[in-house]
Amino acid sequence: MLGLGYVGCVTAACFASLGHRVMGIDRDRHKVDNVLAGRAPFYEPGLEQLVRENVDAGRLSASSSAGSIADASVVLVCVGTPSEKNGNLGLAQLRRAIDEIAAQLSTRSTPLIVAIRSTVFPGTSQEVVLPALAGHKLVSVVSNPEFLREGSAVQDFLEPSLVVVGGSDASAVRQVADLYAPLGVRACLVSLGTAEMIKYACNAFHAVKISFANEVGALSEKLGIPSHEVMSTLCQDTKLNISPAYLKPGFAFGGSCLPKDLRALIYRIHALDLKLPLLESALPSNEQHLKRAIDAVLDLDSQKIGVIGLAFKEDTDDLRESPVVTLLEQLIGKGRQVRVFDPHIRMDAIYGSNKNFILQTIPHISRLLAPSLDQVLDWADHLVLAQKQTKETMQRIQASGIPVIALVDGSTSVPLPAREAVKW
């Protein structure tokens, strides 16, 4: 274990408690001496007892010399990656740790797995760690990010909600994942960069949740509404709120509810002289996401573009504030030829505000609508999937051989060949 800070010492003591022989290595003699004496070098509930028990049992030791990794089969790198002045991660400790490992490789005759447990930005293992190890044939590099909270780190390790191991060497990935097997959790085995990104995605999501709850709380209190009652009730919905719902990258949101309600909320926030940046940023964020999608389609060389889906989402005929309508406006304005198919849209069947919206936005929409999918497939030289499609539709699209750009997650219910499917 390279590094005996909050992550390294907890990880070392917990792995020792699972029966592994663990050597903790740190340049800080204070940390080393504390572990050797059976003491935790800092306060963390339950840690001192684990350290003492496992030092006494001979499963946990400590050293200030990197040469102690000579007999290790796995080295977990748990050194700090503090912020620099510009916000970037400081990798000095990581680089030094990897250099110390590299210095021990010349005489090594057995395989070694280097697992990066430190929080590093996606690409760091590929761009920093692997080159420093000079492609040594006996060394494999994996990413094994930690999800430990100070104050409950021991419990978080022994009762994990998530274990992630990423890398290109399947055997090394499995070997590190197997270290956690006694905990009864199924490890998520992913690519190297994915593992690094998951750590950031989790922490960003936690920060967003805290900020969201605080902003809703601030607005509620300003309105004289009990904020804890609002949020505790929100959490009762485990189908849409506290759930995987909406947590998949895809197309921009639209429809008759979300944009309208966000605009009303922001109006009231301003009227109350509040500043709630997270809530106020939702619509601009959505607009930027839509712009990225439009740019991706405009970057296509194709002139004849078939768009599958017109309503703001599948299985509805609601066109109000559909991001697809904005996409069509831009394509037409840039001189692209467009044909659209949506199985639920018939101009003679829609009416009211739904019809008014589409006719005011694209008066000639009737000329763009194709009555069948086959007509679009026969005409287009590139397809844009703006809604999730059924398995049958995806099979027909695949059979057509037309290249596809999918703007929504889950569009490819039937996998398309890599050369034909592009996720923007």
Q: pLDDT of the chain along its 424 residues, tens only?
A: 999 999 999 999 999 999 999 999 999 999 999 999 999 999 999 999 999 999 999 999 999 998 888 889 999 999 999 999 999 999 999 999 999 999 999 888 899 999 999 999 999 999 999 999 987 889 999 999 999 999 999 999 999 999 999 999 999 999 999 999 999 999 999 999 999 999 999 999 999 999 999 999 999 999 999 999 999 999 999 999 999 999 999 899 998 899 999 999 999 999 999 999 999 999 999 999 999 999 999 999 888 999 999 888 888 878 888 899 899 989 989 999 999 998 887 766 676 766 777 777 777 777 888 889 999 999 999 999 999 888 999 999 999 999 999 998 654 433 344 334 444 4
**What is the C-alpha separation between 54 and 48, in angstroms, rounded?**
10
* pLDDT value for 351: 64
* pLDDT value for 421: 41
| Residue 123 DSSP label | T
Q: Which residues pair with 143 in a beta bridge?
A: 116, 166
Q: Which residues pair with 2 in a beta bridge?
A: 25, 77
Q: What SS3 class is residue 119?
A: coil
Q: Which residues are catalytic?
A: 257
pTM, 2 dp: 0.87
Crossing angle of helices 323-333 and 282-298, rounded to 10°:
40
Spatial contact of 63 and 75, defined as CB atoms under 8 Å apart: no
